[in-house]
Amino acid sequence: MKEIELDKLVEIGLAQDTDWHFHFLTPDCIFNDSPLYKVILETKEGKFSSSMSHKPLEQLKKLENHFYGRK
């Protein structure tokens, strides 16, 4: 999995049409190997992650709205 900046991860996510999804892991999540918040994006092109010390609510909202076809 490639670690990239959150804005780049969101940009890649928003460019996807089909066959993609994302995960948001909190620091205490059993699947998170980091003490930070983590966003994981899975696409046909690859898997990307970004870690941060804060909840990235604005970026998550963009990804979620795109995934569900909302404006």
Q: What is the pLDDT of residues 8-56, one digit of tens each?
A: 999 999 999 889 999 999 999 999 999 999 999 999 999 999 999 999 9
Whether the Cβ atoms of residue 3 and residue 51 lie closer than 8 Å to each other:
yes
Q: Could you tell me the domains of the chain?
A: 2-67 (3.30.720.10)
Q: Comparing C-alpha atoms, which of 29, 40, 33 is closest to residue 1?
A: 40
Alpha helices in 1-71, H assignment, sequence order: 6-14, 57-67
Q: At residue 71, does pLDDT exceed 90?
A: no
Band (70; pLDDT cuts 50, 70, 90): confident
Mean per-residue pLDDT, 58-69: 94
pTM exceeding 0.75? yes
